[in-house]
Amino acid sequence: MDLALLTEQLLNGVQFGVMLFLMAAGLTLVFGVMGLINLAHGSLYMIGAFFCATVAAATGSFWLGLVASLAGAAAAGAIIEIAVVRRLYDRDHLDQVLATFALILIFSEGTRWVFGSFPLYLDIPKVLQGAVALPGGSQYPVYRLAIIIVGLAIAFGLYLLISRTRLGMRIRAGESDREMIAALGVDIRNLYTVVFALGAALAGFAGAMVGALQSVQVGMGEPVLILAFVVIVIGGIGSIKGALIGSILVGVVDTMGRFLLPEFFELFMPPSQANSVGSALASMAIYILMALILALRPQGLFAARA
Amino acid sequence: MKKLIAASLIGLSMSVASVAVATAEPVKVGMITTLSGGGAGLGVDVRDGFMLAAKLAGNDDLEVIVEDDARKPELAVQLADKMIQADKVDILTGIIWSNLAMAVVPGAVAQDVIYISPNAGPSQLAGAGCNPNYFNAAWQNDNLHEAMGAYANTAGYAKSFILAPNYPAGKDALTGYKRFYEGDVADEVYTKLGQTDYAAEIAQIRASDADSVYFFLPGGMGIAFMKQYAQSGVDKPVLGPAFSFDQGILGAVGDAALGVKNTSQWSKDIDNPANKQFVEEFQKEYGRLPSLYASQGFDTANLILSAMNKADVKDMDAFRAALKEADFDSVRGDFEFANNNHPIQDIYVREVVKEGDVLTNKIIGMGLENHTDAYAKDCKM
Amino acid sequence: MKSMISRESIFNAVLLLALLAAPYIALQMDEPFYVSLATRVAILALAGVGLNIALGFGGMVSFGHAAFFGVGGYVAGILSQHAFNYEPLMTWPFTIEGTNQMLVIWPVALVVCALLALAIGSIALRTSGVYFIMITLAFAQMIYYFAISWPAYGGEDGLSIYVRNTFPSLNTMNPMSFFLICYAVLIVCLVLSMLIRDSRFGAALQVARQNEVRLASTGIAPFRIRLVAFVISAAITGLAGALYADLNRFVSPSSLSWHMSGEIMVFVILGGVGRLFGPVAGAALFIVFEFYLGGVTEHWQLFLGLVLLCVVLFARGGLIGLIAGRARHG
């Protein structure tokens, strides 16, 4: 195994992690401020991808599609918040899980009703196609580098938003004391709608970015959703910083596990069997990681409210 | 339920003269297929192909009940129970996935219901577990992979990197490829089922000294792999079975698929009258190009119709014998059943090409001629 | 108050009788399929009864009960496969043979699931709230991926049970006999869960849910109480899984998936959380929905989602809550 391959895999892990962060950030924000578990976050991811694919197909521009994914997912988020989610804030987690589980069914089947059963086409824009040479001799896809940069930029933007702006101040206030900010005259209902729509937009954006790289189809949000939950639980629910570190950790562990575990088992097993055992273990790796972390730190790595 | 009983179709084709129909009793077919959730496209194609054949034949003794299994094995079992016990169907068909087939088929054929598979062909049902009531009108699961293994030799590949999801069909696929492939294997990688990011695997491919890549990643997994592979700058040629390059998926893969060789028992450009009619009528009826799944649904219906013309479905022995003769014009050309009721057929090598703006496949050669599966010899029929 | 409780009891009695009567009527009408539909209701209700002990009585929102449901099913599948092939399950350090006796399979399923729950619970119960929901989900996912990729028992293809396992002096292949077995198991577990609810243990569990500090001040460790309840809950769900495998004559990883966990939860909520008979009502309602709605439209899952949403938003007590009024628990 050479250093170039190892670097490339590490980069892959980081890129996967950054992508997860876009999903996890919205999820953890919504939980931190409103105390809501939103299983339908994966549906917003799917909605973003479908908006992007449709608009890109109609206009021929991926960038317009990207804008549409942000706007469409934000709008869908706002509508869900006003129509359904608003009623769930003072319910227990059980009701929230169930209601948002129902939303998944509605969105998945509704999308299929509108768009049909076949996956949609969405491709990477021309300027981001192809690969660039990395120091060390190997090549790396431009688009994946772009995802890393955009993801980190969004993480930084979120940090600025929360620490420097008026909205961020209200969000922080909402996290620590809900009655208080209501008493201060902040319209908490609007604040909640805005926060939810922001989380939805992030998810939709992630869906569009990733959709171009993977496939745009019904149900695409579910595997990512579960990973995003693993991330925020590891990072500490409600903490943006935790979400970022959790995502990178999960991304790297998953990627390196897939790559290294089969090689490890090859040391004392025939290759075919080693691959099978190694990849079985790799597919369980992040769940094992999560169980270990929670066993040691039941509130995750960076609990927002201990 | 979704009672798409063929009655409406029959009205349309009253003018077609029905040829000496030997059946006294109507034949009731229960179709359990995936119409909702992930992978619904395959079920929709099989159903549409089947219904098109029923409509073209205009035989009002064929009655079809279609139900959605949502790709859940438990639901498929429940529907099979219902169709056998409540609807009293004579024939079951429609299942797309091997794991659902394994849940339904052994129980159904044991209750003396005929099952005709329009897509899945797990090895357990082809070898020692074969059954006179089980027919496969598509392929045994290994077939397309075997053909690609044979083609890899012809094309002169000597070191393949092979890749599939870590589940039984994935392992069968790579075993099938290796059965005919004579070169070396650079690496054999199993991925997580449902995985959509292949950066780690592509990096391994890049780092390996392979001269070709063989992958079996059905559905969304294949779309994701192809798109990411095209962006990676790795230029080793890619080979795959038709599942990742069928008409329903090609549009979503886009130009990344151009030029890829894949194996299939059917292609839009196979030159025979039955296929010409099928492609034309399918486009007219549904406004899209047919996929290999649609062709399999179409053939399944025609197989049943051909047996109906020869025997009464209530006479099980005669009807089974009539099915086994496979006396119909398959859209794939020559078609007959081996001793284990699985097809003996040609498997072609196709290449993805662009016709105008539409991506589709074109036959470029033969993978395996008159091919039967590796399990037939274990079947005592 | 009193009249409401009795209204619930009447409803419960009607429910049980209806479930018993349905297959008999179906047989009279020569519709044997409805017997297996009723069997399905009984088994899924049993899975819900299991979850209800953790969720309803103990307030532990487990999003991973499919792990126990599926493992119970695999116990039945694996034991009967070994019996079918006449190969022992293991020969070292001692020989364990497969079996096709339900009376052997059930205790094995109970014990295996209980041990599994002990392991999962002792880690998961250190957490609470969302963390608990997610860690139970994570454990179930772990087992799910293991089952898919482990080739010995069929992987994703699942495992067929060629002949339904046997029960002394009954022909289990007869749908009616098998229904009666499942029904009887359901009744036994309902009685058991009633005894648990009304016992001192049940009271302690109730307090642990409502006020942990108060319980701890009486010298009882909430962790232990919860763990025991979690284990009992898992064992019952595992038993349901074993019966379900026998009903389908098949078990596969899909019974371990997070969708299954969600569905078992839905049975409990649909009927009414914490109600003794909630899961029975919920499972019956769910199956009837799935069956009839599936007949009306291809897009039945959308309508199922809408109905679920309405139940959560507007009918908080579930079906029983609608009929019998507000529950006495909080």
Of C134, C299, C308, the CB nearest to A109: C299
> Chain C within 8 Å of B73 (Cβ-Cβ)?
yes
Asked if residue B233 and residue B358 are part of one domain, the reply reads: yes
Q: What domain range is B234 assigned to? A: 143-264+347-378
> Tens digits of per-residue pLDDT, C268-302?
988 888 888 999 999 999 888 888 887 777 788 88
**Percent of all residues in chain C with a pLDDT value above 70, rounded to a whole number:** 97
Q: How distant, in Å, are the alpha carbons of A289, B45, C55, C67, C296 from that of A94?
A: 25, 39, 9, 19, 30
Token readout for A53 is 């694919």
Sign, CA dihedral B77-B83-B88-B89, equals negative
C interface with B, Cβ–Cβ < 8 A, is: 31-34, 36-37, 40, 145, 148-149, 151, 154-158, 160, 162, 244, 248-250, 252, 254-255, 290, 294-301
pLDDT at residue number B5: 41
Task: Compare all CA atoms of chain C with the CA of A238 and give the residue at the minimum distance.
Answer: C130
Given a cut of 70, whether residue B285 has pLDDT beyond it is: yes
**How much is the average pLDDT of B51-67?**
92
* Chain B interface disruption, residue of A1, A122, A214, A269, most B CBs within 10 A: A214
Tens of pLDDT, residue by residue over C209-258, are 887 777 777 777 888 999 999 999 999 999 999 999 999 888 989 999 98
pLDDT at position B360, please?
Answer: 93
Q: Are residues B351 and B257 part of one domain? A: yes
Contacts of C301 in chain B (CB under 8 A): 36-37, 70
Question: pLDDT at residue A130 above 50?
Answer: yes
By CB atoms closer than 10 A (0-12, 13-18, 19+), residue B209 is: exposed
Which residue in C34, C148, C157 is closest to B102 by CB distance?
C157
Q: B274 and B222 in one domain?
A: no
Q: What is the 3-state secondary structure (H, E, C) of chain C?
A: CHHHHHHHHHHHHHHHHHHHHHHHHHHHCCCCHHHHHHHHHHHHHHHHHHHHHHHHHCCCCCCCCHHHHHHHHHHHHHHHHHHHHCCCCECCCCCECCCCEHHHHHHHHHHHHHHHHHHHHHHHCCCCHHHHHHHHHHHHHHHHHHHHHCHHHCHHHCEECCCCCEECCECCCCHHHHHHHHHHHHHHHHHHHHHHHHCHHHHHHHHHHHCHHHHHHCCCCHHHHHHHHHHHHHHHHHHHHHHHHHHHCEECHHHHCHHHHHHHHHHHHHHCCCCCCHHHHHHHHHHHHHHHHHHHCCCHHHHHHHHHHHHHHHCCCHHHHHHHCCCCCC
**pLDDT band with cut points at 50, 70 and 90 for residue A270:** confident
* Contact between B167 and C155 using a beta-carbon 8 Å cutoff: yes
User: Which structural domain, as residue segments, surrounds residue A83?
Assistant: 9-117+138-296
Q: Are strands B91-93 and B27-33 parallel, antiparallel or unpaired?
A: parallel
Question: Is A131 among the domain residues?
Answer: no
How many CB atoms are closer than 10 A to CB A131?
A: 18
- Give the one of C32, C151, C162 whose C-beta lies nearest to B85's C-beta: C32
A164 φ/ψ angles, rounded to the nearest 5 degrees: -115, -20
As a whole number, the mean pLDDT across chain B is 88
For chain B, the C-alpha Rg in angstroms (whole number) is 20
| Three-state DSSP state, B361 | strand
pLDDT class of C326 with cuts at 50, 70, 90: low
In this prediction, what percent of chain A has a pLDDT beyond 70? Answer: 94
* Residue B1, in any domain of the structure: no
B2-33 tens-digit pLDDT: 334 443 333 333 333 344 444 457 899 999 99
Q: How confident is the model over A181-222, as pLDDT tens digits?
A: 667 666 778 888 999 999 999 999 999 998 888 888 888 888
pLDDT band at C171 (very low <50, low <70, confident <90, very high): confident
Q: Residue A190's domain is classified under what CATH number?
A: 1.10.3470
pLDDT band at B252 (very low <50, low <70, confident <90, very high): confident
Q: What is the mean pLDDT of residues C11-24?
A: 89
Chain C residues touching B102 at Cβ < 8 A = 154, 157-158, 160, 250
A295 contact C CB<8A? yes
Chain C neighbors of A92, CB-CB under 8 A: 61
pLDDT tens for A286-301 read 998 988 888 888 888 8
Residue A57 domain flag: yes
Candidates B41, B166, B231; nearest CB to A118: B41
List chain C domain ranges.
Answer: 2-324
**Which of A10, A122, A258 to probe by mutation at the B interface, max B CB count within 10 Å?**
A258
Average pLDDT over residues B316-324: 94
Ramachandran category for residue C81: left, alpha or beta (phi over 0 → left; psi -120 to 50 → alpha): alpha
Collapsed DSSP state (helix, strand, coil) of residue B65: strand
Which carries the bigger pLDDT value, residue B344 or residue A4? B344
Task: Tell me the C-alpha distance between C184 and C167, whole Å.
Answer: 13
At A182 the pLDDT is 66
pLDDT at B150: 94
Number of domains in chain A: 1
User: Considering its fold, how many domains does chain B have in total?
Assistant: 2
List chain B residues with CB under 8 Å of A220.
196, 220
| pLDDT(A237) > 70 | yes
In this complex, is the C-beta atom of B283 within 8 Å of any C-beta atom belonging to chain C? no
Q: What is the mean pLDDT of residues B90-118?
A: 92
Compute CA distances B178 → B148, B172, B259, B368, whole Å.
9, 10, 23, 14
Residue closest to B228 by CA, chosen among A208, A144, A148:
A144
Query: What pLDDT score does B4 carry?
Result: 42
User: Is A287 within 8 Å of chain C by CB?
Assistant: yes
The confidence score (pLDDT) of residue A133 equals 83
To the nearest whole angstrom, how far is the Cα of C36 from the nearest Cα of chain B?
8
Give ipTM to 2 decimals.
Answer: 0.85
Nearest residue to A65 (alpha-carbon basis) of A193, A216, A222, A199: A216
Question: Can you tell me the mean pLDDT for A229-245?
Answer: 89
CA-CA distance, B8 to A162, in Å (whole number)? 61
Q: How far apart are CA B101 and CA B82, in angstroms?
A: 16
Q: Are residues B102 and B64 in the same domain?
A: yes
Q: In the numeric block, which tokens belong to residue C277?
A: 């008979």
Task: Say whether pLDDT at C111 is over 90.
Answer: yes
Which CATH number does the domain housing residue B207 bear? 3.40.50.2300
Q: Which of A120, A258, A272 faces B200 most closely, judged by CB atoms?
A: A258
User: Between chains, do A94 and C61 touch, taking CB under 8 Å as contact?
Assistant: yes
**Overall average pLDDT of the A62-73 stretch:** 95
Please say whether the beta carbons of B59 and B19 come within 8 A.
no
Whether residue B374 is found in the same domain as residue B244 = yes
Look at residue A282 in the predicted model and tell me its pLDDT. Answer: 87
Neighbours of chain A (3+ CB pairs under 8 A): B, C
CB-nearest to B252 from A108, A216, A262 is: A216
Considering the domain architecture, whether residues B200 and B84 belong to the same structural domain is answered as: no
Same domain, B52 and B149: no
Across the interface, whether the CB atoms of C308 and A99 are under 8 A apart is answered yes
Q: Is the pLDDT of residue B93 over 90?
A: yes
Beta bridge partners of A249: none
**In this structure, is residue A125 part of a structural domain?**
no
Q: Helix H segments across chain B?
A: 7-12, 40-57, 73-85, 98-110, 143-154, 168-180, 199-207, 220-231, 247-253, 273-286, 292-308, 316-325
Residues B231 and B365 in one domain: yes
A4 domain-assigned? no
Per-residue pLDDT, averaged over A225-229, amounts to 89
Q: Which of A124-128, A168-172, B30-34, C304-308 holds the top average pLDDT?
A: B30-34
Token pair belonging to B173 = 């696929």
Distances, alpha carbon B218 to alpha carbons A36, B163, B169, C193, in Å: 36, 12, 10, 45
Chain-centre distance for alpha carbon A149: 15
Using a CB-CB cut-off of 8 Å, the residues of chain C touching B2 are 294-295, 297-298
Band of pLDDT at residue C321, cut at 50, 70 and 90: confident
Query: CA torsion angle for B120, B126, B132, B137 (degrees, to 10)?
Result: 40
Per-residue pLDDT at C234: 97
Give residue A65's pLDDT band: very low, low, confident or very high (50, 70, 90): very high
Closest CA to A10 of A235, A207, A258, A281: A258
Q: Judge if B258 and B285 occupy the same domain.
A: no
Q: CB contact, 8 Å: B169 with chain C? A: yes
Instruction: Kindly report, residue by residue over C73-96, the tens digit of the pLDDT.
Output: 999 999 998 888 888 887 777 777
A271 neighbors B190 (Cβ within 8 angstroms): no
On whether residue B170 sits in a domain, the answer given is yes
Contact B74 C300 (CB under 8 A): no
Coil, strand or helix: which one is B319? helix
Please check the confidence at residue B91 and state whether its pLDDT lies above 90: yes
In this prediction, residue C3 has a pLDDT band, given cuts at 50, 70 and 90, of: low
